[in-house]
Amino acid sequence: MAAARGQFNSRIGFIMAAAGSAVGLGNIWGFPTQAASNGGAAFLIVYLILAFCLAYPALMAELIIGRHAHANASKALEQIAPNRPTAMLGHGVGLAGLIVASLILSFYAIVAGWMIGFGLAALLKLVGFGDAALWLESFSTARNIGLMSVFMVLTIGIITQGVHGGIERWSERLMPMLLLSLVGLTLYVLTLPGATEGLRVYLLPDFSKAVSPDLVIKALGAAFFSLSLGVGTMLIYGSYISDDEHLPSLGGWVTLSDVSIAVLAGFLVLPAMYVAQHNGVAIFTDNGALLSEDTLIFTVLPALFDTMGSTGTLVALAFFFLMSIAALTSSISMLEVPVAYTVENTELARSKVTWVIGIVIGAISTTIILNFDWLFGLVITVTTRYSQPLLGFMFCIYAGWLWHRNTLLQELKKNDPNAESSVFWKIWPNYVRIVCPLIILGIFYQSL
Ligand code: PFF
């Protein structure tokens, strides 16, 4: 018998958990770094347009399908398009999402490990173990594998506890603290010399440069990655929402909080880059490119904390601790994808399944670490820039074309007697059917 399905206890619990999935390294490590290396304001503008005009409608497709089917992505797509070919394709799309989610987790755990490392380093400095702290901040294979493993074990530990024991309880408490610390740090960095140059790059578009197809496809990947789309995570979270909830506004809150935190992180990281440069830290190469995108914030933020004197170490501790938590509330949503699929399709116990899958993903992470120079970037590009938008495209096709229109509208009306007069009702069903797929295809076509 399939295991009983969990459900979120409260509306705020769902928003926090879905926002917890959305808000993570993508917002604070991914988006600001990409903005910094792709023209600042130009990237910001394209990202904002894509987030609201494409990613939000695509998120709604996943949430609505998920809540209707109360199942994992494979089963849900089979259920809404039950004819043999579309059901088989749907199953395949769900499985592809499951593989992509696992691959994303395999690189994500490495970066999250760095967050834990810098947090622990701050702690060790406070208690006088400077050498050990230095090791944690170095870039060694042993450190990378060790910290990645710590992060994977934490992720596995939470997932074995199920939906509200684990995911909901954690997200509710720690997400607000992350927001507060980001706001505080941003306000502080803006008072430092050099910060205005960062603000200028971030906010003033350089109209002399055209927006390239390459920039657009990167922003597309960033928007899909940031909202956890295309891999079935949001569909599964949708399947845990009770029928009384108003989905369009729930999805709207999740999008708004995710995008706001990414934009806010830009106000922290870009100014901090120029503050660091002002203080003699090397950030750019001779021709103005970033020295290293992957580790940018691990150079820039510690340099920022150094400007705070002895309180800097405390602030570093708090910041990297909260970032590790933000990464955890995202990683649990990735691991939930293969775990939910396996638990719902077999007789196996949740905890056993979680451990086995977690260890396999840890092994993939280790392979990436051992071949870091070429594999790390490759996995990120393939999963986030290509797979997520293309799978998101498929979810839109299922919601817009293959799902019986009446059932879809019924699902939208479930707890909202006035649904038919809402703007969402009037626009979204055709938008997800025609506009979303066309935008995604158009962007891919341009970039070829
Ligand atoms: N949205 C997460 C972030 O911005 O860090 C990353 C992510 C989570 C991607 C869950 C995919 C996913 F399924």
Ligand 1 centroid distance, CA of 22 (Å): 5
For residue 146, the surrounding DSSP H or E stretch is helix 141-160
Is the CB of 22 inside a 6 Å radius of any atom of ligand 1? yes
How confident is the model at residue 4, as a pLDDT?
Answer: 46
Whether the CB-CB separation of 31 and 266 falls below 8 Å is answered with yes
C-alpha of residue 158 to centroid of ligand 1, in Å? 17
Q: Ligand 1 atom closest to Cα of 31?
A: 4
CA gap 280, 350 in Å, rounded: 51
Q: Residues 129-149: what's their mean pLDDT?
A: 95
Give the residue-averaged pLDDT of 73-77.
Answer: 95
Question: What is the distance between the alpha carbons of residues 368 and 142, in angstroms, rounded to a whole number?
Answer: 13
Question: 310 CA to middle of ligand 1, Å?
Answer: 34
pLDDT at 15 (0 to 100):
74
Q: Is 21 in the pocket of ligand 1 (CB under 6 A)?
A: yes
Determine the 3-state secondary structure of 284 from DSSP. strand
Higher pLDDT, 39 or 372: 372
Cα 267 to ligand 1 centroid, rounded to whole Å: 21
Instruction: Report pLDDT for 1.
Output: 33
DSSP three-state, residue 237: helix
Instruction: Kindly state the percentage of the chain with pLDDT values over 90.
Output: 69
Q: Hey, how many other C-beta atoms are within 10 angstroms of the C-beta on 292?
A: 13
Q: Is the pLDDT of residue 118 over 70?
A: yes
At residue 151 the predicted structure's pLDDT band, cuts being 50, 70 and 90, is very high
For 199, the 3-state DSSP assignment is helix
pLDDT class of 51 with cuts at 50, 70, 90: very high
- 387-399: average pLDDT: 97
How far is the centre of ligand 1, averaged over its atoms, from the C-alpha of 354 (Å)?
A: 19
Answer yes or no: are the C-beta atoms of 102 and 361 closer than 8 Å. Answer: yes
Q: What is the CA radius of gyration of the chain?
A: 21
Instruction: Please report, rounded to a whole number, the percentage of residues in the chain having pLDDT higher than 70.
Output: 95
Q: How many of the other CB atoms lie within 10 Å of CB of 311?
A: 9
Highest mean pLDDT among 167-171, 226-230, 320-324, 411-415: 226-230
Given a cut of 70, is residue 130 above it in pLDDT?
yes
Hey, what are 49's tokens? 């347009």
Rounded to an integer, the average pLDDT of 290-314 is: 89
Q: Return the DSSP state at 291.
A: S
Which is higher by pLDDT, 288 or 91?
91
Q: Please write the tens of the pLDDT for every residue from 202-256.
A: 999 877 777 899 999 999 999 999 999 999 999 988 988 888 888 999 999 999 9
Contact by Cβ (8 Å): 295, 110:
no
Residues belonging to the chain: 448
Q: Convert 329-343 to b/e letters by CB count within 10 Å (16 or more is b).
A: bbbbbbbbbbbbbbb
Ligand 1 atom at minimal distance to the Cα of residue 388 = 11
Q: Ligand 1 pocket, 222 CB below 6 A? A: no
pLDDT of residue 439 exceeding 80, the answer is yes
Summarize the confidence of residues 11-30 as an average pLDDT.
Answer: 85
Give which of 168, 182, 176, 120 is closest to 329, Cα–Cα: 168
For a substitution probing ligand 1, which of 254, 334, 380 has the most ligand atoms within 8 Å of its CB? 334
Locate the ligand 1 atom nearest the alpha carbon of residue 225 and give its number. Answer: 9
Rounded (10°) CA dihedral 34, 35, 36, 40: 160
How would DSSP label each residue in 59-96?
A: HHHHHHHHHHHTS-HHHHHHHHS-SHHHHHHHHHHHHH
Q: What is the mean pLDDT of residues 143-152?
A: 98
Ligand 1 pocket check for 86: Cβ under 6 Å: no
Cα 384 to averaged position of ligand 1 atoms, centre (Å):
9
pLDDT reading at 399 higher than 50? yes
Does residue 103 have a pLDDT over 90?
Answer: yes
The average pLDDT across 354-363 equals 98
Q: Which fold has domain 11-447?
A: Amino acid/polyamine transporter I (1.20.1740)
User: What's the pLDDT score for residue 162?
Assistant: 67
For residue 303, report the distance from its CA to the centre of ligand 1, in Å.
27
> Domain ranges in the chain?
11-447
Residue tagged 């199920």 (tokens)? 162
- What pLDDT is attached to residue 2? 37
Q: 27: Cβ below 6 Å to ligand 1?
A: yes
Quick one: pLDDT at residue 166? Answer: 57
Average pLDDT, whole number, for the chain?
A: 91
Compute the average pLDDT of residues 320-334.
91
Question: 432: CA distance to ligand 1 center in Å?
Answer: 22
Contacts of range 8-11, beta carbons closer than 8 Å, 24 or more positions apart = 8/163, 8/164, 8/168, 8/240, 8/241, 8/242, 9/164, 9/168, 11/245, 11/250
Q: Residues 267-291: what's their mean pLDDT?
A: 90
Number of C-beta neighbours around residue 357 at 10 A: 21
Q: Exposed, middle or buried by CB within 10 Å (0-12, 13-18, 19+), for 85?
A: exposed
Cβ of 105 less than 6 Å from ligand 1: no
Give the Å distances, CA to CA, from 156 to 336, 354, 362. 9, 6, 11
Q: Is the pLDDT of residue 168 over 70?
A: no
Q: Using CA atoms, how far apart are residues 322 and 331, in angstroms rounded to an integer?
A: 14
Report the pLDDT averaged over residues 438-443: 96
Pocket-testing residue among 108, 158, 264, ligand 1, by greatest number of atoms within 8 A of Cβ: 108
Ligand 1 test: best mutation among 233, 236, 260, 330, most atoms within 8 Å of CB? 330
**Token digits for 304?**
């920022």
Give 445 Cα–ligand 1 centroid separation in angstroms: 25
Position 418 scores a pLDDT of: 82
What is the spatial distance between Cα 380 and Cα 365, in angstroms, rounded to a whole number? 12
Whole-number pLDDT of residue 99: 98
Question: Which pLDDT belongs to residue 244?
Answer: 82
Q: With CA atoms as reference, report the closest residue to 438 among 53, 51, 47, 96.
A: 53
pLDDT of residue 43: 95
